[in-house]
Amino acid sequence: MSWLRLLAALAAAGVSTLASATGFDYRLQPVPVADGVYTLIGKSENFSRDNGGNIVNTGFIIAPGGVIVIDSGPSKGYGEQQRAAIAKLTGKPVVQVLLTHAHPDHVLGSQAYPGVPVASLPATTTTLTQSGDALLGNLYRLVGDAMRDTEVRLPNAEAHDGAVTIAGRKLRLIAARGHTDADLMVFDETTRTLFAGDLVFFDRTPTTPNADIPAWLTTLDAIDALPFAALVPGHGPLLRDHAGIAQTRDYLRWLRDSLQGAARRGLDMPEVLQLPVPERFRHLAVLRTEYERSVSHLYPAYELDTLPTIPRSKPK
Ligand SMILES: [Zn+2]
């Protein structure tokens, strides 16, 4: 069969050849976490044209009455391929999308679920309303063609802290903060799977552009106390222990102490950027880039904190 005839046959069968000819293939492979619970593990990299923005973990739960999606990924194309990956495993429709927080790699696939309620914490919706287009523009710049046709779809439902039953599945929604000002975690009571969003990173350096480190450390203690059997971090491999919590805590404490110490010593930002990172963190993916971003985001506040001590004259 000639290519032309093949395309004509596909078109006659209602197959869109345009999307398959030009769309970015994310090659999504659902990883089983527990009975009816899956995660899609993204790459531990920076955003790039090669990864199409898929640096994120998303997930879904096949509930009695339909499928609950946790985070919709970085683009419309990702969301569509996530939906297709779900359809290969179950004939049940997606009935709910839950967004963990406002970062673009987690939320920009929501367009793939028209008519399905998309819920987030109210502050997440506020952030996406105010800054969604800027976040989107940034991803177009970093990722390029894989973002094609992606627009911000704002959440149309509110998630709140507490027990809920969605599609016949008992979930505990946990409203927290620290990575951003609104971080939603989803705990599946049936399998004791915790979708921790970006409150937990594993073997991938935490990102801090909207972080409140003291609040984040407090939240990590609360996560440590949860009775989970599996933990899906926002970035990095699936966990069945507390190692990701411990690693995220260790890194954030070091970052805090290091920046505080540097500010007290009066180092300027270029000097802080040159500080060595301890050996135990050197295996973390994208370490140097994230460390530099963290210094540029966070250091000015640590410097401000030291201001009251500056007027004292130094002994000569
Ligand atoms: Zn994030």
The reported pLDDT for the residue numbered 306 is 86
The reported pLDDT for the residue numbered 307 is 78
pTM greater than the 0.75 cutoff: yes
Q: Residue 273: inside a domain, yes or no?
A: no
The reported pLDDT for the residue numbered 312 is 57
How does pLDDT run across 154-163, given as a tens digit for each residue?
Answer: 999 999 999 9
- Pairing of the two strands 183-188 and 169-176: antiparallel
Helices in 16-75 by DSSP H: which ranges? 17-22
Residue that is written with structure tokens 């007027």 in the block: 311
Q: Residue 292: inside a domain, yes or no?
A: no
Distance from Cα 163 to the centre of ligand 1, integer Å = 24
The reported pLDDT for the residue numbered 225 is 98
The C-alpha atoms of residue 219 and residue 206 are separated, in whole angstroms, by 15
C-beta of residue 160 within 8 angstroms of C-beta of residue 175: yes
Distance from Cα 266 to the centre of ligand 1, integer Å = 30
Distance from Cα 101 to the centre of ligand 1, integer Å = 7
Distance from Cα 177 to the centre of ligand 1, integer Å = 11
The reported pLDDT for the residue numbered 264 is 95
Distance from Cα 276 to the centre of ligand 1, integer Å = 25
For residue 228, the SS3 value is: coil
- State the pLDDT confidence band at 19, using cuts at 50, 70 and 90: very low
Q: Residue 204: inside a domain, yes or no?
A: yes
CA angle 7, 13, 15 (to 5 degrees): 65
Distance from Cα 100 to the centre of ligand 1, integer Å = 9
Q: Residue 265: inside a domain, yes or no?
A: no
Dig out the tokens for 51 from the structure: 């990864």
Distance from Cα 206 to the centre of ligand 1, integer Å = 9
Q: Where are the beta strands (DSSP E) in the chain?
A: 31-34, 37-40, 58-63, 66-70, 94-98, 118-120, 157-158, 162-166, 169-176, 183-188, 193-201, 230-235
Print the domain residue range for 216: 25-242
Beta-bridge partners for 171: 164, 188
Distance from Cα 9 to the centre of ligand 1, integer Å = 43
Distance from Cα 211 to the centre of ligand 1, integer Å = 9
The C-alpha atoms of residue 58 and residue 306 are separated, in whole angstroms, by 40
Q: Residue 251: inside a domain, yes or no?
A: no
CA angle 148, 150, 151 (to 5 degrees): 145
Distance from Cα 77 to the centre of ligand 1, integer Å = 20
How does pLDDT run across 141-150, given as a tens digit for each residue?
Answer: 999 999 999 9
The C-alpha atoms of residue 155 and residue 97 are separated, in whole angstroms, by 9
Distance from Cα 16 to the centre of ligand 1, integer Å = 33
**Average pLDDT for the chain:** 92
**Nearest residue to 152 (alpha-carbon basis) of 166, 133, 126, 125:** 133
pLDDT beyond 70 at 18: no
Distance from Cα 228 to the centre of ligand 1, integer Å = 21
Distance from Cα 160 to the centre of ligand 1, integer Å = 19
Averaged pLDDT, 104-130? 98
Distance from Cα 182 to the centre of ligand 1, integer Å = 10
CB atoms within 10 A of CB 51: 19
Distance from Cα 256 to the centre of ligand 1, integer Å = 18
Q: Residue 270: inside a domain, yes or no?
A: no
The C-alpha atoms of residue 148 and residue 51 are separated, in whole angstroms, by 14
pLDDT beyond 50 at 16: no
Percent of the chain with pLDDT over 90: 89
pLDDT beyond 50 at 6: no
CA torsion angle 288 76 16 82 (round to 10)? 80
Distance from Cα 72 to the centre of ligand 1, integer Å = 13
pLDDT beyond 90 at 313: no
The reported pLDDT for the residue numbered 14 is 40
The C-alpha atoms of residue 268 and residue 14 are separated, in whole angstroms, by 61
The C-alpha atoms of residue 72 and residue 104 are separated, in whole angstroms, by 10
Cα-to-chain-centroid distance, residue 57:
6
- State the pLDDT confidence band at 311, using cuts at 50, 70 and 90: low
The reported pLDDT for the residue numbered 1 is 43
Distance from Cα 207 to the centre of ligand 1, integer Å = 7
Q: What is the DSSP letter of 138?
A: H
The reported pLDDT for the residue numbered 4 is 45
| CATH number assigned to the domain comprising residue 191 | 3.60.15.10
Distance from Cα 185 to the centre of ligand 1, integer Å = 12
Distance from Cα 102 to the centre of ligand 1, integer Å = 7
How does pLDDT run across 198-236, given as a tens digit for each residue?
Answer: 999 999 999 999 999 999 999 999 999 999 999 999 999
The reported pLDDT for the residue numbered 181 is 98
Distance from Cα 267 to the centre of ligand 1, integer Å = 29
C-beta of residue 120 within 8 angstroms of C-beta of residue 184: yes
C-beta of residue 177 within 8 angstroms of C-beta of residue 217: no
How does pLDDT run across 239-287, given as a tens digit for each residue?
Answer: 999 999 999 999 999 999 999 999 999 999 999 999 999 999 999 999 9
Q: Residue 5: inside a domain, yes or no?
A: no
Distance from Cα 59 to the centre of ligand 1, integer Å = 15
C-beta of residue 53 within 8 angstroms of C-beta of residue 135: no
Distance from Cα 112 to the centre of ligand 1, integer Å = 20
pLDDT beyond 70 at 52: yes
pLDDT beyond 60 at 36: yes
Dig out the tokens for 310 from the structure: 């500056």
Q: Residue 254: inside a domain, yes or no?
A: no
- State the pLDDT confidence band at 315, using cuts at 50, 70 and 90: low
Averaged pLDDT, 63-80? 98
Percent of the chain with pLDDT over 70: 90
The reported pLDDT for the residue numbered 259 is 97
Cα-to-chain-centroid distance, residue 170:
23
Distance from Cα 240 to the centre of ligand 1, integer Å = 21
How does pLDDT run across 152-198, given as a tens digit for each residue?
Answer: 999 999 999 999 999 999 999 999 999 999 999 999 999 999 999 99
Q: How many domains in the chain?
A: 1
The reported pLDDT for the residue numbered 303 is 94
